[in-house]
Amino acid sequence: MGQYTRRKFLSAGAAGATAIGFAPLLAACRESVGEVAAPYAVFKGGLVLSTWDFGMKSNEEAWRVLQAGGAALDMAEKGVNLCEADLSALSVGLGGLPDREGKTTLDACIMGPDGKAGSVMFLENIRHPASVARRVMEKTPHVQLVGEGAYQFAISEGFTHDDYKNPEAEKAYRQWLTESKYEPVINIENHDTIGLLAMDTRGDIAGACTTSGLAYKMRGRVGDSPIIGAGLYIDNEVGGATSTGLGEAVIRTCGSFLVVEMMRRGATPAEACEEAVRRVMKKHDNWREFQVGFLAVNKAGDTGAFALQEGFSYALHKEGKGELVRSNWLKN
């Protein structure tokens, strides 16, 4: 990883304990294990960042929510809802490419500044899985609901059954059936998940992540996107992170949690994302064959990203204007 600068809150060590007194030493110890908020000013201008170019429109929607007085959690939910509602998208929402049985199954999660989280996995026939995830968080004592249970919960919450089939996804599936090659590898240019991180004008951070997952996946397969700590993690004292790419590799490294913990210890968002990508690389001999990307924001409003392969970009909306930012990647 790039050498990041650890915050040297106090370096007196044990010898300095008598001179500086016990309370500061305790504070220093707590700092070293990450229990104390970062000493920089919290950014309160509002910002949104999300994966891939389809994030541009989602960011604009989240920004509209912010301007209408919405909080970070509303920004995150409504932002990704826009992408879920795009039925031409082949990797998010009901228009997504199906599993190998021909059924589109959806994974999503959401996490708020209060540390609460909700998630749905292997959900079918519901247009807005991220909103169902929010209901799981707000209306149940649980974090995760899966499959038929998640569907029943969604219906009980007033979501409607939706049989939509994307003709383009069906055509691609029929083509895939001619060989039925089971190759659970994400193409490095595949725009898969939308992961979105939002910061409101209080400086609070929330995030959401939603996808139809790996194309032609084994039935019941769940990726990183609905797994708190893998596809998304928020710690409102530190920042937030989200991921895209081959979910199995992200889950094995608890990727988004790792990014946030690196930031807690002083890494910039870009440095933290790079460290998580390098962790993925070390654990996978075949890392050249798939893509993983992370993006992150800290409480100062600094943002950054890093990917295994060239080709990852993220959408950033800050100070009222949006741009598509090309992520750095491993070049060795």
Return the residues of window 123-152 that contact ligand GLY according to CB under 6 A. none
Closest to ligand GLY by CB, 65 or 296? 296
Measured CA to CA in angstroms, residue 329 lies from 68, 243, 270, 273, 305 at distances of 36, 14, 10, 10, 9
| CA pair distance 145, 122, nearest whole angstrom | 9
Is 38 or 49 the residue whose CB approaches ligand GLY more closely?
49
* Burial category of 175 from C-beta neighbours within 10 Å (exposed 0-12, middle 13-18, buried 19 and up): exposed
Binding positions for ligand GLY, 155-194, rule CB under 6 A:
192-193
How would you list the strands of the sheet with 117-123, edge to edge?
Answer: 144-146, 117-123, 106-111, 205-211, 194-199, 47-51, 313-318, 321-326
- Active-site annotation holds for 178: no
Output the smallest distance, CB 276 to ligand GLY, in A.
14
Q: CB nearer to ligand GLY: give 122 or 159.
A: 122
Task: Out of 245, 255, 269, 293, name the contact with ligand GLY by CB under 6 A.
Answer: 245
Q: Which of residues 191-230 bind ligand GLY (CB under 6 A)?
A: 192-193, 211, 213-214, 223-225
Provide the 3-class DSSP secondary structure of residue 80.
helix
Q: 24 or 102: whose CB is closer to ligand GLY?
A: 102
Integer Cα distance of 96 and 52 in angstroms: 16
What's the min distance (Å) between Cβ of 96 and ligand GLY? Answer: 10
Least spacing, CB of residue 299 vs ligand GLY, in Å: 26
293 binds ligand GLY (CB under 6 A): no
CB of 7 to ligand GLY, least distance (A): 32
The only residue of 96, 118, 239, 247 in contact with ligand GLY, by rule CB under 6 A: 247
Task: Determine which one of 193, 242, 244, 253 is catalytic.
Answer: 193
Minimum distance between the CB of residue 18 and ligand GLY, rounded to whole angstroms?
A: 52
Residue 99 in contact with ligand GLY, rule: CB under 6 A: no
Q: Is residue 246 involved in binding ligand GLY (CB under 6 A)?
A: yes
Binding site for ligand GLY (CB under 6 A): 192-193, 211, 213-214, 223-225, 244-247
Would you please indicate which residues are annotated as catalytic (active-site) residues? 193
